[in-house]
């Protein structure tokens, strides 16, 4: 009894201490590193709160608005919501694993592995819609398991509400009811609930929470649904080697040993003996395996983003902990493998975090994902100095540069549409083009800025920085455009 009581107290306390320490570190790190273009873009959303946006659901904007209301318009304010979501996600991994294996020790180490995984550790700082998606998905997964065990109305409502929040974060949230439906239809345990009211209450709760965004998308003739559909299906061409490249990349962002363990669970836990013998493990497979397979199929015909299967890994992790602890296999030296997996994940995460602050890996900028987190403060400082000297206002092309300049200068920045993709800026009212404008043009564009080609305008190339210019300045041409009101 003493040993059991000690385990009951020690592991939750150890997890709490771990969460406090990692959150404090991540808060410092979040305040130090610069915003990525996407983060700055979502910050601009938070200045105009709505029920939906062109690219994704509104949850990320709402969280950023809350964070900046507390900490101000700074990096920590933008990222505070991601820090909170990471605490929720890690806690839910612990609770799901404990419900599955009934051992706090195993649940603790599963939660630690989740927080060390590079994909989730980076996502705990860099604030994207995935932070809310993963947190809400984890709550829905845990509440769903509890609902299936107890048939309690509170858990059913919690499952639906969390799934609704996941939809508010990202369209991927719609795959949660899809996976849950697979479980209800394909397992003996699941079919017993088809004639009960619990799943209906969950569906209603989710629909109520997601309704504002769903109605917004209807009013916008598809909105983010249409954008994501084109994003996934545009330019499809069958190329099996892409799927192999995707798998190799995923092993890197998750860490190889941990990723291998997750893949083996998703490849095995669909079998009949698990569907009928361990419905809870099969339930986790339904929320991970089909989603990962879908992303893999898309990867064979279209380039996919590294974060797309994140929620599949999240729900596979507790299942893998069960499978590798005797649920499916009895491997030798499991403790050594677990320690090695954690060590490798930690090394990968540390290398990524260091690369952001002190880029030491000899990577080409185009292939270094951390490059997007550097140089924006200096670029904005120089842009402000130049604009003040010229008596000009700022402008740029594309949502990324405009958002970065807007955040780091805290000034209005005029937006010019890019041919590469639409953004929320294309649907907001444009700022009037008046007086002198300092236009920062990405070098990926080779024409004179349209803002400088308007009738009665005069323009000149102020600077065409070469590759030896300071970081980020080398990416832009600097134009000065003056409205000629006298028709000279």
Main-chain dihedrals φ then ψ at residue 422, nearest 5 degrees? -80, 165
d(CA 3, CA 403): 55
pLDDT at position 488 is 43
Q: Find the mean pLDDT for residues 265-274.
A: 92
Q: Which range (58-62, 121-125, 134-138, 336-340) has the least confidence?
A: 336-340
d(CA 459, CA 386): 15
pLDDT at position 197 is 95
Main-chain dihedrals φ then ψ at residue 486, nearest 5 degrees? -95, 5
Q: What is the mean pLDDT of the chain?
A: 89
Q: For 11-42, how does the pLDDT look when each residue is reduced to its tens digit (9 = 90+)?
A: 999 999 999 999 999 999 999 999 999 999 99
pLDDT at position 327 is 81
Q: Where are the domains of the chain?
A: 2-227+332-357, 375-483
pLDDT at position 1 is 47
Are 424 and 45 a contacting pair, CB within 8 Å?
yes
pLDDT at position 464 is 67
pLDDT at position 5 is 56
Are 478 and 438 a contacting pair, CB within 8 Å?
yes
- Please state whether beta strands 436-442 and 476-483 pair in parallel, antiparallel, or not at all (unpaired): antiparallel
Burial pattern 139-160, b for ≥16 Cβ within 10 A else e, equals bbbbbbbbbbeeeeeebbbbbb
Q: For 195-213, how does the pLDDT look when each residue is reduced to its tens digit (9 = 90+)?
A: 999 999 999 999 999 999 9
Is the pLDDT assigned to residue 2 strictly greater than 60?
no
Q: What pairs with residue 457 in β-bridges?
A: 483
Kindly give, in sequence order, each residue whose CB lies less than 8 Å from that of residue 328, ignoring residues fewer than 6 positions away. 265, 268, 269, 274, 322
Give this prediction's pTM: 0.93
Of 155, 262, 249, 252, whose CA–CA distance to 198 is shortest? 155
Q: What pairs with residue 439 in β-bridges?
A: 395, 479
Are 82 and 126 a contacting pair, CB within 8 Å?
yes
Q: Which range (59-68, 338-347, 391-400) has the least confidence?
A: 338-347
| DSSP H helices in 410-473 | none
Which residue has tokens 């919690």? 158
């Amino acid at each position: 009894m003493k040993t059991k009581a000690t385990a009951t107290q020690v592991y939750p306390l150890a997890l709490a201490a771990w969460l406090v320490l990692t959150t404090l570190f991540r808060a410092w790190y979040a305040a130090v590193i610069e915003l990525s273009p996407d983060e700055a873009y979502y910050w601009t959303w938070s200045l105009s709160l709505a029920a939906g946006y062109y690219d994704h659901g509104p949850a990320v904007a709402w969280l950023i608005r809350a964070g900046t209301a507390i900490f101000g318009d700074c990096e920590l304010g933008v990222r505070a919501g991601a820090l909170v979501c990471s605490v929720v996600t890690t806690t839910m991994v612990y609770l799901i694993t404990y419900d599955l294996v009934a051992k706090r020790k195993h649940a603790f180490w599963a939660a630690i592995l989740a927080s060390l995984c590079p994909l989730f550790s980076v996502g705990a700082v860099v604030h994207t819609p995935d932070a809310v998606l993963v947190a809400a998905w984890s709550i829905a997964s845990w509440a769903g398991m509890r609902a299936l065990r107890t048939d309690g109305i509170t858990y059913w409502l919690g499952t639906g509400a969390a799934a609704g929040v996941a939809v508010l974060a990202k369209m991927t949230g719609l795959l949660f009811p899809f996976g849950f439906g697979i479980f209800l239809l394909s397992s003996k345990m699941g079919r017993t609930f088809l004639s009960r009211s619990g799943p209906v209450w969950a569906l209603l709760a989710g629909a109520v929470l997601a309704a504002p965004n769903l109605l917004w998308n209807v009013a916008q003739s598809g909105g983010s649904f249409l954008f994501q559909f084109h994003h996934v299906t545009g330019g499809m061409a069958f190329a099996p080697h892409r799927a192999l490249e995707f798998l190799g990349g995923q092993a890197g962002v998750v860490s190889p040993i941990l990723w291998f363990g997750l893949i083996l669970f998703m490849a095995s836990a669909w079998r009949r003996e698990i569907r009928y013998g361990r419905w809870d493990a099969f339930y986790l497979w339904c929320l991970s395996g089909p989603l990962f397979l879908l992303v893999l199929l898309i990867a064979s015909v279209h380039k996919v983003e590294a974060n797309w299967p994140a929620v599949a890994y999240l729900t596979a992790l507790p299942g893998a902990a069960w499978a590798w602890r005797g649920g499916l296999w009895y491997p030798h030296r499991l403790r050594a493998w677990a320690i090695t997996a954690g060590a490798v994940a930690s090394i990968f995460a540390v290398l990524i975090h260091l690369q952001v602050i002190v880029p030491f890996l000899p990577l080409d900028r185009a292939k270094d994902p951390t490059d997007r987190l550097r140089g924006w403060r200096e670029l904005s400082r120089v842009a402000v100095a130049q604009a003040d000297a010229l008596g000009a206002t700022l402008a740029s092309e594309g949502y990324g540069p405009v958002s970065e300049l807007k955040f780091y200068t805290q000034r209005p920045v005029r937006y010019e549409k890019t041919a590469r993709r639409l953004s929320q800026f294309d649907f907001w009212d444009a700022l009037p083009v008046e007086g002198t404008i300092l236009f920062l043009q990405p070098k990926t564009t080779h024409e004179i800025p349209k803002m400088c080609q308007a009738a009665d305008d005069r323009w000149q190339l102020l600077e065409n920085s070469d590759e030896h210019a300071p970081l980020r300045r080398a990416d832009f041409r600097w134009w000065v455009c003056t409205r000629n009101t006298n028709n000279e």
